[in-house]
């Protein structure tokens, strides 16, 4: 879904503006504000999108993930259920019994993070390539987990909506 979208911000403008990855994952194109956004407004992505690998990679991914109990998102397979809501959001590509792995959906760097079921977030690698290299090398990726600051994890999107103003994806009138 590409095109131009406009959004009306309330007055006074919210200090925190969030775009839900599930609603925006197909790409929104160019958008603009109707009203004034404060220079101090914080804008970010929230929630999850899933980053499936091609079915042709299943055997290799199963081999790489087996020592660590990892499952991977594969085209056509149902995604895992995730009962939490992080801001910034997470592009999930793998999971184990303890949590979910993926790069953060944010501007700039995209560290590979591990979101545990208890809501704690850790950096697992500098990026996706570095994480895959850990798996190929047989390195225990869990041994190098470092707390990842700046991520807020909520019990639900509704919980996040108490602190963030959510932009709704709506096409402009024709």
Decide if 137 is inside a domain: yes
| Residue 70 in this model has a pLDDT that exceeds 60 | yes
pLDDT at 3 over 80: no
How large is the average pLDDT for residues 130-154? 94
Give how many domains the chain has, as a whole number: 1
Closest residue by Cα to residue 113 from 88, 82, 138? 88
Q: Could you give the CA distance from residue 96 to residue 106 in angstroms, rounded to a whole number?
A: 23
Which domain does 15 fall in, by range? 4-167
For 96, half-sphere exposure in the C-beta direction (CA atoms, 13 angstrom radius) is 16
In a domain, residue 174? The reply is: no
- Confidence at 20, pLDDT banded by 50, 70, 90: confident
Residue 172 lies in a domain: no
How far apart are the C-alpha atoms of 103 and 38, rounded to whole Å? 28
**Which pLDDT score, from 0 to 100, does residue 1 have?**
45
Q: For residue 158, is it within any domain?
A: yes
- Which of 98, 53, 50 is closest to 75 using CA atoms? 53
Pairing of strands 85-87, 94-96: unpaired
Report d(CA 90, CA 153) in Å as an integer: 11
pLDDT higher than threshold 90 for residue 137: yes
Q: Cα dihedral angle (56, 62, 45, 151), rounded to 10 degrees?
A: -160
pLDDT of residue 165: 86
Give strand ranges (E) for 3-140.
Answer: 4-8, 16-20, 30-34, 42-46, 48-50, 71-72, 85-87, 89-92, 94-96, 99-105, 112-116, 121-125
Average pLDDT of span 144-149? 95
| pTM assigned to the model | 0.82
- The verdict on residue 118 lying in a domain is yes
- Please report which confidence band the pLDDT of residue 86 belongs to, taking 50, 70 and 90 as the band edges: very high
CA-CA distance, 21 to 133, in Å (whole number)?
A: 27
Query: Is the pLDDT at 120 greater than 80, yes or no?
Result: yes
Measured distance CA(81)–CA(75) in Å, rounded: 16
Average pLDDT over the chain reads 84
Q: Is residue 173 part of a domain?
A: no
pLDDT at 124 over 70: yes
Q: What percent of the chain has pLDDT over 90?
A: 59
Q: Which residue has the higher pLDDT, 23 or 138?
A: 138
d(CA 96, CA 101): 8
Q: Which two tokens stand for residue 64?
A: 């790489």
Which of 12-21, 63-72, 88-97 bottoms out in mean pLDDT, i.e. has the lowest? 12-21
Reported confidence tier of residue 108, pLDDT bands at 50, 70, 90: low
CB-based contact 59:132 (threshold 8 Å): no
pLDDT confidence tier of residue 100, bands split at 50, 70 and 90: very high
What pLDDT score was predicted for residue 172? 53
């Amino acid at each position: 879904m590409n095109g131009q979208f406009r959004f009306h911000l309330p007055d006074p403008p919210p200090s925190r503006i969030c775009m839900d990855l599930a609603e925006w994952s197909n790409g929104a194109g160019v958008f603009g504000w109707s009203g004034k956004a404060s220079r101090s407004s914080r804008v970010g992505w929230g929630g999850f999108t899933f980053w499936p690998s091609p079915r042709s990679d299943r055997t290799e991914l199963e081999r790489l993930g087996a020592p660590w109990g990892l499952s991977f998102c594969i085209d056509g397979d149902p995604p895992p259920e995730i009962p939490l809501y992080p801001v910034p959001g997470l592009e999930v590509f793998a999971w184990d019994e303890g949590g979910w792995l993926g790069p953060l959906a944010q501007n700039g760097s995209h560290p590979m993070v591990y979101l545990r079921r208890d809501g704690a977030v850790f950096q697992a690698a500098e990026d996706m390539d570095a994480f895959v290299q850990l798996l190929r090398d047989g390195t225990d990726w869990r041994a190098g987990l470092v707390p990842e600051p700046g991520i807020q994890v909520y019990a639900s999107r509704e919980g996040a909506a108490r602190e963030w103003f959510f932009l709704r994806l709506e096409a402009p009138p024709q």
